Structure 1
Amino acid sequence: MHPSSSPSPLPTLALIGAMASLCLGTSFAKTLFPAVGAQGTTAYRITVGALILLAIWRPWRFPLTRSQARTVVLYGTTLACLNLCFYMALRTLPLGVAIAIEFTGPLTLALVLSRRVLDFIWIALAAAGLLLLMPSGVSAHQLDPTGLAYAAAAGVFWALYIIFGQRAGSLHGGQATALGMTVAALITLPIGVAHAGAALFDPSLILAGLVVGVLSSALPYSLEMVALKGLTKKTFGVLLSLEPAMGAVAGVIVLGEHLAVPQWLAIGAIVAASAGCAATARRRMPPAPAPAKTD
């Protein structure tokens, strides 16, 4: 048997690590909202991450074709919009609700790309878990419509991020992530400065922003690029169903939030769907000597 016939666990492990880092970073990031707002926190997250990745990867060493540059711009733009919309949603929505609504984007993408009955079983299990994860006692009438709209928009941009991220994943090493984050920083930093003003440059807040940038951007997006190179969009999308579960666990550990029995059942359902998807996913075909693949 050819050695490459056994899929490497590295892409899956990289995605799990990315989600764990992202959940911890998001829990900490929300504490900055009173000082610099969702816009300023997004600017911290993206700009700090971009500076770190630029220093590590030095992406200017490798020239880009016009097509690659266009892909990086699209990747960076969706990255900026995804982060900004999600943090704007967190201003008025509980974290679990915002993540659950946001996840409808990659879940829909996984559904569109599915062809086997087994795929739909895992997706249905993940969807059931997401519904259970909604906090008890929170009805649609109690949720802020603006927050819901921002969370839904974040879901759309998350699906686009998966698509453009895979296209950008054909670039050298961390070049795509570094350049994409730089594009995103050029979009979000002016918005953050316009909202937070001088507070954004407070030394103590900058230190907190550094932590947010590392945990929420530099580390997870680098790991996600590793995952995007080795997973199909469908598998990537369903495996991301682990993120709401990880967010709930992070809430227990970091914030001392209480989870009811239905929420723990939801975590079990989501983890089962993710594990099932990873175990039954078809192997990727060997890459052809053609332009960047999008699947």
Structure 2
Amino acid sequence: MHKNQNLPFLAALSGMVSVQTGAAFAKTLFPVVGSEGVAALRLGISAIVLLIVFRPWTLRNSGISWVSIIMYGIVLALMNLLIYRAFAYIPVSIAISIEVMGPLVAALLTSRQKTDLLWILLSALGMFLLAAGDIHNVIDIRGVAYSIAAAFFWGLYVIVGRRVSGGGGRSVAAGMTIAALITVPLGTAQAGSALLIPGVLLTGLCVAILSSMLPFLLDMYSMRWLPSRVFGVLLSGSPAISALAGWIILREELSLTQCGGILAVMSACCGCALFARPRT
């Protein structure tokens, strides 16, 4: 057990804020390079930087299975491609509200306390209010379908990520490289030379830092010390953060019902942080 459990909690929270802020900035690039282009920029730039910094080829002496590393990379690629596709059809906050069901299911499956169910149910209520609160627009079923698929892979990310978390930054670098090998060809096919526009590259660098490099390194640290159930429930705060980021950056308006959903989700996160007990 970590000698100070507050640090893993803070790492998970900081990673969540960073990735949702990056997601909102990423959507601003959709008109120029499309969803696959944004995924290519995010993962491609991240892979280059992390390869230089962490030298993941040294993992061969760490005892971590390369099968797990490859699975981790594939999950990263699919999680990004699918959620960006969802962003193209529905608001960021609604897409994340659906996607976060993946970690919640992972948390439920690994739960060992009755009180954990309360936080999961409260989070589910918040997600419902966030998704159902938009009375002015018809929700595009394509966006919902992509979000559900992304939820599946985000749930796998929590599970697979713990298997490779012992490698720290090296695991992230290796997984990111595999993910980039999948997404960059797809993004290049969609966006072509638009990916090399200086303004696009600069924004892509910001998205890569906020959405990939910083949060995944924080996730590696927090997943190493937090049980999957606690980490998964903490991630339920993502809809609240994404809703605020979407409102500030993208001007995606929130209804009173959606604000109620944010409060429900944040209450669940606070309950988890205050009352959950790590499994020994």
Task: Give the TM bin, normalised by the shorter chain.
Answer: over 0.9
Unaligned runs of 5+ in 1: 286-295
1:23 corresponds in structure 2 to: 20
Q: 1: distance between equivalents of 2:251 and 2:148?
A: 27
1:207 corresponds in structure 2 to: 202
**Aligned 8 A contact 2:2 2:225 in 1:** no
2:135 corresponds in structure 1 to: 137
Give the deviation of 1:149 after TM superposition: 1.3
User: Compared with structure 1, are the counterparts of its residues 203 and 136 closer, same or farther at alpha carbon in structure 2 (3 Å cutoff)?
Assistant: closer
1:291 corresponds in structure 2 to: none
Q: 2:244 aligns with which of 229, 249, 265?
A: 249
2:104 corresponds in structure 1 to: 107
**Aligned 8 A contact 2:127 2:265 in 1:** yes
More helix, by proportion: 2
- Alignment of 1:188 with 2:186, yes or no, is no
Q: 1: distance between equivalents of 2:166 and 2:39?
A: 27
TM-score by length of 2: 0.93
- Alignment of 1:148 with 2:130, yes or no, is no
2:142 aligns to what SS in structure 1? helix
Q: Indicate the structure (1 or 2) with the bigger Cα radius of gyration.
A: 1
Residues 120-129 or 60-69, more deviating: 60-69
Q: 2: distance between equivalents of 1:117 and 1:279?
A: 15
Q: 2: distance between equivalents of 1:253 and 1:116?
A: 37
Q: Percent identity?
A: 44
User: Compared with structure 1, are the counterparts of its residues 13 and 5 closer, same or farther at alpha carbon in structure 2 (3 Å cutoff)?
Assistant: closer
**Across the two proteins, how many residue pairs are aligned to each other?**
279
User: Compared with structure 1, are the counterparts of its residues 5 and 93 closer, same or farther at alpha carbon in structure 2 (3 Å cutoff)?
Assistant: closer
Q: 2: distance between equivalents of 1:263 and 1:144?
A: 17
Unaligned runs of 5+ in 2: none
TM-score by length of 1: 0.89
Q: 1:86 aligns with which of 73, 83, 87?
A: 83
Q: 2: distance between equivalents of 1:156 and 1:138?
A: 28
RMSD: 1.8
1:259 aligns to what SS in structure 2? coil
Give the deviation of 1:60 after TM superposition: 2.5
1:1-295 aligned at under 5 Å gives the runs 7-64=4-61, 68-134=65-131, 135-137=133-135, 142-171=138-167, 173-285=168-280
1:248 aligns to what SS in structure 2? helix
Residues 29-38 or 265-274, more deviating: 265-274
Q: 2: distance between equivalents of 1:252 and 1:151?
A: 19
User: Compared with structure 1, are the counterparts of its residues 89 and 51 closer, same or farther at alpha carbon in structure 2 (3 Å cutoff)?
Assistant: same
Q: Which amino acid aligns with 1:38?
A: S
Residues 64-73 or 91-100, more deviating: 64-73
**Aligned 8 A contact 1:96 1:244 in 2:** yes
